[in-house]
Structure formats: structure tokens, C-alpha cells
Amino acid sequence: MIRIDTIEDLVRVLDDHPDWREAVRARLLSRELLDLPSEFSAFVAETRAFVAESKAFREEMETSVAETKAFREEMTAFVAEMKAFREEMTAFVAETKAFREEMTAFVAETTAFVAETKAFREEMTAFLAEMTTFVAETKAFKAEMHDFVAATNRQFKSIRDDLGVLKGAHARNAAERNLGLIARSMGLRRRRVLDGEQLFDLAREAGADMGDGAIESYLQADLVFEAEDDRGTTVYVALEVSYTANGRDTTRAMRNAELVARFTGSGCRAAVASLRVDDRIAELVESGRVAWYRLPRRALEAA
């Protein structure tokens, strides 16, 4: 027979008889307390699921905010590029002003939209869709502007090329008017200028290959004239004319001088006439291999 006199006796008996312990627990505890462990476990599971969903939501929001910030930085950089482009394209002020006004309106709309998205996450999807469309339109606009700039550059290059031709002709006219002074600066006295037909006849009579590229360049010489030195000896001068004499001019002048000397059997000097001379050909000028006559600026202005 089991005797229970103290609480310790009761605890020992319950430890020795688990089925008694469960019976006592059922008698002493209410149904709510008995169900509490299983309900608490369910609560913990639900809480963990809620925490996981909250973390996923937060990560989604952080990603969305990061993407929005990156997009805003891209837009800020793009606006800066557009401003720099506007400064460069001063010749097209009207079009640039219209574009700037459109960009200002867009920035205002975007700022308001961003402010609204901070309070309404549901509107973010629509915002991103609109921004995607805008980026596509902006890229298309950039492509159009790139084509526009390229076309403008081609026009400017054509204008520069045309101006180069006009300047060359302008300088050649000035050289023709100062041809006597050019000859004098070389210690010569001018006799006559050889035209293209005369140059052609000299080359053909000398048996030159008229299809040779050097001969074709020789026939397009700026000026070739006949002169005489102090002893009355015939001397020819192959003269190239430009605003700024460079290596191309000295090469043509020396090549043409060599051909004229070969065709005529007389000496021929290479010379250039220009307002300025390229530093890279200074050695040729200083050595006397090529004579340089500085065209007076006043002569060019009066041409």
C-alpha cells in the first residue's frame, strides 16, 4: 500500500506512475491550460511565417527603393549631359529651349510621382512602367540628337572644306599679285608664269608618263614661273601657296621643282608662300631647301 504523508511523497509517487501524473493534471488543469502548448506551438509557427513574410516584403521594398534611387541617379546624369549639349549647340537655341522646357515639365511630374510612391507602394508598378517608357523615349531622343549632331558636324566639315578652298584661292591670288616681290626675295627677276597647258607640253615633250600620279600633281601646281638670276641665267620656281605652309606644301613644291628641272634642263627652286609656316617644316626653310615668302596680311585682306 502506498502511503503519502508529505508533498515530497506525492511528487515521488507521481514520478513513479506517469499515468497517475496525467490523471492528476487532467483533474487540476482546465481544458484551456491543457491545450495551451499546442496552441502556443501553432502561434509560434504563424509568427515565424509572418516574420518571414515581413522580411521578404522588406527586402522587396529595399530592392525597389535601390532601383528607384539608381534610376534617379541615371536621370540626373542624363539631365547634366543634356545641359552640356545645350551649351555646345548654341546655334540651335530654339530646339534646345523646347527640349529644356519638356525636361523641366518631366522632372516636375517625376518629382510629384516619387513623392506619391513613398506613401502608396501599390502605385510603384505603374511608376516603373511609366519610367521604362520614358527611358525608351529618352534613348530614342538621344539617338535622334546623335544623328542630328552627326549631320551638323558633316555640314560644318563641308563648310570648313569649302572655306579651305576659298582661302587657298584667296592666298593664290595674293601670291600672283606679289609674284615679282617673291622672285626678288629669292634674288631673281620674274619673266613669265607657266600655265597648265605649258606645263603639260613640257612634260609630254620630255617623254613623261602622263598617267603617273606625280605628273598629275605637277600639272595642278599652284604656280610655276620662269625667272632669271643676276647673271641672266634662266631659273624656274615651283611655288605652292596656302594660308599655313605645311609638309604637304613643301613636298609638292620639291617634287614639282625636280620635275620642272628634269623637263626643262634648267635649275628650278622649290618655294612656298603663306601667311604662316608650320614649325615642322622650319628646318627645310632654314636649310634653304625650300624658300618661304611670307604673304603680308594686308595683301590677303585686299585680295
- Residue-by-residue pLDDT tens, the chain, 303 positions: 678 889 888 888 888 888 888 888 777 777 677 677 788 889 899 999 999 998 998 999 999 889 989 989 988 888 888 888 788 877 877 886 887 788 788 778 877 876 886 888 888 788 879 988 888 888 887 888 777 767 666 665 554 544 444 455 567 888 888 999 999 999 999 999 999 999 999 999 999 998 888 999 999 999 999 999 999 999 999 999 998 899 999 999 999 999 999 999 999 999 999 988 888 898 999 999 999 999 987 756 644
Cβ atoms 75, 110 nearer than 8 A: yes
C-alpha torsion sign, points 43, 46, 52, 54: negative
- Number of helical H runs and strand E runs in the chain: 11, 7
pLDDT in the model for residue 168: 52
pLDDT in the model for residue 165: 46
For residue 189 the three cell numbers come to 627677276
Neighbours of 113 (CB within 10 A): 15
pLDDT in the model for residue 227: 97
Tell me which H or E stretch contains 190.
Answer: strand 189-194
For residue 89 the three cell numbers come to 549647340
Tell me which H or E stretch contains 24.
Answer: helix 18-28
**DSSP 8-state secondary structure symbol assigned to residue 295:** P
Q: Which string of DSSP letters, residue by residue, matches 212-234?
A: SHHHHHHHT-SEEEEEE-TT--E
d(CA 137, CA 129): 13
**DSSP 8-state secondary structure symbol assigned to residue 17:** -
CB burial readout 267-302, b (16+ within 10 A) else e: ebbbbbbbbebbeebeebbeeeebbbbebeeebbee
CA atoms within 13 A on the CB side of 100: 14
d(CA 6, CA 3): 9
pLDDT in the model for residue 94: 85
pLDDT in the model for residue 303: 44
Largest Cα–Cα separation, the chain: 162
Query: Burial, 230: exposed, middle or buried (Cβ in 10 Å; 0-12, 13-18, 19+)?
Result: exposed
